[in-house]
Amino acid sequence: MRADAARRRQNIIEHAKHVFAERGGDVALEAVAAAGGVGIATLYRNFPSREDLVRAVVQDMVEQIIGAVERARTGLDADPSGAWKNLLSSLMSMKLGALTDGLALQACAARDLDSAPLAQVQQPALDALNNVLAELIRHRAVRGNLTALDVIVAVATITRPQVSPIRGAAPGVPEQLAEAYLHWSLGVS
């Protein structure tokens, strides 16, 4: 793929994340194309179906999570608690909760979430996170019963956007919840 085509594809994915987060997974793909500054034909050349676009968005998030896990792994032996704090901070900054509504439609299409196509795309991130959690548990840096799915669900819950009046009334609550989760996760199980 040419460099300009790869940049255009990544641009569509980035804008799709924002549009799905703001308007939900059933938003018209024309809105995604417009947000990305491309025509609908360009979007469809890159992603022949909504499912292809959603899969690409999820794959991009998976790659970001794996990257965060790898960065945490590099400092784990020297400073396990610091590695966990940095990893959790990285995951929180991804605002996974903003995508829960937008991507939940795709997951709900399957009765068994483990067999859903998106579950298969997400598995490498869960595996990587479980592996680093095992090391963190071995170093006694986190609770012994913490799993990747626990962490992802907690992060998604904490970073889930609230309606504007609630955000305005209590703007610091997500950060407070993130700090409380960090403190809880460091506790003895």
In this structure, what token pair is assigned to residue 65? 């999570």
Residue range 64-77: mean pLDDT, rounded: 94
Same domain, 65 and 38: no
Same domain, 107 and 18: no
CB 83 within 8 A of CB 75: yes
| Model confidence at 113: pLDDT above 60 | no
Task: List, for residues 42-56, the tens digit of each pLDDT value.
Answer: 999 999 999 899 889
Task: List, for residues 142-164, the tens digit of each pLDDT value.
Answer: 999 999 999 999 998 898 877 77
Domain region containing 1: 1-48
| Model confidence at 102: pLDDT above 80 | no
Task: Count the neighbouring beta carbons within 10 Å of the beta carbon of residue 184.
Answer: 12
Q: For residue 24, what is the domain's CATH number?
A: 1.10.10
76 closest CA partner among 133, 126, 128? 133
Same domain, 42 and 67: no
Same domain, 40 and 62: no
45 φ, ψ (degrees, to nearest 5): -65, -35
Same domain, 44 and 60: no
**Domains: count for the chain:** 2
Q: For residue 124, what is the domain's CATH number?
A: 1.10.357.10
Place of tokens 């417009």: 34
Mean pLDDT of the chain: 86
